[in-house]
Structure 1
Amino acid sequence: MSDDTAPADATYNRVMLKISGEALMGDQGYGLHPPTIARIAREVQSVHDMGVEICMVIGGGNVFRGLSGAAQGMERTTADYMGMLATVMNALAMQSALEELGVFTRVISAIRMDEVAEPYIRRRAVRHLEKKRVCIFAAGTGNPYFTTDTAATLRANEMACEAIFMGKNGVDGIYDKDPAEHDDAVRFDEITYDEVLTKRLRVMDASAIALARDNNLPLIVFPLDEPGGFKGILAGKGTYTKVV
């Protein structure tokens, strides 16, 4: 990292922001919704302006989800590669929105496509972060059978991020059951990775959870659709669940 201490007013110096592809489609049910992308970009900009170094991983479910394609009879490896390409599209859309706000951004792909994104080279990516550029890691891990949750956890470890921030729409943390279906659902302020696994809480896939747990990487689940929520949590405010 470029500095051993967190920026003023921020609890972390370098973080990974993981959001789903569905977060980019607004209420239209499919694809990309530019006003929603611009809103999320402003949230990222507000944290960037605090001096925090930001990595991002965006899912591809708003365009194509490999597992769903495989469930409909498509060969799994092919479906997963199509899902990876969807994440590149989302990363480019987010890059465009951030650079409209004056935030220098690099899209870094696990699959080589030099005309539209940089190849993943760890030391180069770290240098981008040290120069306060937002790094959006696309195409997952570059391998089928791994989710973008696992990709986010892998890159967060490789980049020496201090926490993973998982932005969710319509929910302000982790609950013991789906709060949309159960009025008596209870939110956790803090929970361990082992409890997430044993309770089978649908937060991240098991591979990602194990990778974060084994490397002592905290996960913070917060409401992405709450204005100022990302910045607020970095300033020690707001409602969220921390997994340790």
Structure 2
Amino acid sequence: MTDRKDELAGNLAKVEERIAAACAAAGRAREEVTLVVVTKTHPANDVRILSELGVRHVAENRDQDAAPKAAECSDLPLTWHFVGQLQTNKVRSVVGYADFVQSVDRAKLVTALSKEAVRAGREVGCLLQVALDAGASGRGERGGVAPGGVEELADLVARAPGLRLDGLMTVAPLSGTYAGRELAAFERLMDLSTDLRRAHPAANMVSAGMSADLEQAVAAGATHVRVGTAVLGVRPRLG
């Protein structure tokens, strides 16, 4: 356990140095960027250690992993983010523990989230996942709404009982116009955020950047970076 704590502390320190350096390079205050540690497939013990080390935001992408882990760690002062593609049949479970759902990408999901949030007496923060690589289908290969659909979906979330429109999220595209151009992709997300805030001024969260490209996300103006591997190491293989 001590070895694992030392390992995570060392990794966290390196990530913290990277974020601080990126903020300095961009002329931003370190406080402007929130680190969200993606704990998917790692055990609850790791989450507990991260909490001891001062981490306050953790993220999961699979409900079947997240629900028992969140229950086991319910005594910790953590904010839980759900970042994976979310099927409507998992919404009731996710609303039970997630403070934020960062992967809202379609009207049907908004309706389901709203219904379950009201039923649970909770307010769930929502980020619209934007697919910058959206093709003719209007969705990206990792889910998400096309840039042209952001305004309509945002209005739907803003009107939905039990939900709070908090901002936008993206994953750097692997194909299309922005493949290999992470900074350009994140700058495009910031432009969309500026547009969104004209109608919804409080929706100021911008979640972008992961272990490999957090510097580009900070440079573009992201408020939240989602880091897994750089903190926790390579994920155990799922059975």
Does TM, normalized by the shorter one, top 0.5? Answer: no
Give the helix-richer structure, 1 or 2: 2
TM-score, length-scaled by structure 2: 0.30
| TM-score, normalised with respect to structure 1 | 0.30
